[in-house]
Chain A
Amino acid sequence: MSYLTLSLGLLGIFSAFLFFYLLKFKASIKQTNRGNRIRWNSYIPYKEKKPNKGKNKEFKDTSFKDN
């Protein structure tokens, strides 16, 4: 193994650990508190939660008939 490969390998291991360590931290206020941020939720649609069918059924069963 050449000296270049070995030194790059060590750099890679250090970088990989640092990458996963830094990823857990929140970004600085300089990054998060600005007006020109990309609004990702307008591009990536979150799926709406479906209403609980069991609860609706309870109301449907209740019928009032005029005799």
Chain B
Amino acid sequence: MSQHQALNKLGRSGNPIIRSAAFQDKVSSSEEKMSLEGAVNKTSIMLFLTVITATISWNFQGPLMSIVSAIGALAGFVSGIMTFGFYFFFVGWIVKPRPHNAPRTAPIYAVGMGFIIGIISQQAESFYPGIVIQAVSLTFFVATSLLLAYKTGFIKPTQNFMLMIFAATMGIFLTYIVSLIFSLFTGNHFLIITGNGNMSILFSVVVVCIAALNLVLDFDIIEQSAEQGAPKYMEWFGAMALMATLIWLYIEILRLLMKLRSR
């Protein structure tokens, strides 16, 4: 009998109290762990909530819906910050990430973003019929392609990959913020963001690529957290991160298609 086998057979306590306590502890700790299946279910719930609220805001346009959508967007934004934190260049974390808030904030985020997506999609559809179906389909096509590339190991997210994507994402958001401030003071927008020229389309393509590559990081968060037996709330956190990226990707694809069809 090897030493390991001997420990297994003889080293365990025969005391029924100790044995039952150890067993209960093992069961309770396994119950609280995250699983891939759980993360998928939570993503489905969030997607369902987003689609429901997007349908409501699409069909019931008016001043009341505008107020509800504004409140929803604000609630979504606040719940996003409460979960993912808020980072700014040269300053660091202004609000630290709090993943344990995700079970409460994720449904609020999904509902809030649904209202905004509904309004944006309805506006886009009124100008260019059929554009929403095309954008939704392309979003899922891009997401599935990247998921396949990730699962098979074709794309391997490393520390450098993450830093590049993070820097590029922050750069894009900084450009959007500067553009927003510029438009508030001058009334004009950056043509590279709102125009339909070649440079503007190239910018949109780059933004779509960055948004799509952010999905790889989300897949890695979900995969690794499940592997390491992270707490159950990480299922909501992973689902929320995935949904946030999918929503961003959808809006950018919609914007790109609008630019292409307006030429």
User: A residues within 8 A CB of B81?
Assistant: none
Residues of A within 8 A of B227 (CB): 26, 32
Residues of chain B touching chain A, judged by Cβ–Cβ distance below 8 Å, are 36-37, 39-40, 43-44, 96-100, 130, 133-134, 136-141, 143-144, 147-148, 150-153, 156-159, 161-162, 217, 219-225, 227-228, 230-231, 233-234, 237
A residues contacting B by CB (< 8 A) are 1-2, 4-5, 8-9, 11-13, 15-16, 18-20, 22-32, 34, 36-38, 40-41, 43-47
- CB pair B99–A9 under 8 Å, yes or no, is no
Which are the 4 A-B pairs with shortest beta-carbon distances?
A: A12-B137, A30-B153, A5-B130, A15-B140
The A contact surface, by secondary structure, is helix
Shortest distance between the CB of A52 and any CB in chain B (Å): 12
Show 25 A/B contacts (Cβ-Cβ < 8 Å), sorted by A: A4-B134, A8-B137, A8-B138, A12-B137, A12-B139, A15-B141, A19-B144, A22-B148, A23-B43, A24-B40, A28-B151, A28-B153, A31-B150, A31-B151, A32-B227, A38-B157, A38-B159, A38-B224, A40-B221, A41-B224, A44-B97, A44-B234, A46-B99, A47-B98, A47-B233
Would A45 and B224 be within 8 Å (CB), given that A18-B144, A28-B151, A37-B158 are in contact?
A: no
A24–B43 alpha-carbon span in the complex (Å): 11
Could you count the A-B residue pairs with CB atoms below 8 Å apart for me: how many are there?
Answer: 119
Cross-chain contact of B144 among A15, A25, A34 (Cβ < 8 A): A15
Given contacts A36-B159, A44-B237, A45-B97, 17 further A-B contacts (CB under 8 A): A4-B130, A9-B134, A12-B138, A15-B137, A15-B140, A19-B143, A22-B144, A22-B147, A24-B36, A28-B153, A30-B152, A31-B156, A32-B227, A37-B158, A38-B159, A38-B162, A44-B97
Contact B220 A47 (CB under 8 A): no
Please determine whether A12 and B148 come into contact, CB atoms closer than 8 angstroms: no
Which residue of the partner chain B has the closest CB to A31? Answer: B153
Give Cα distance in the complex from A18 to B150, angstroms.
14
A12 touches B141 (CB 8 A): yes
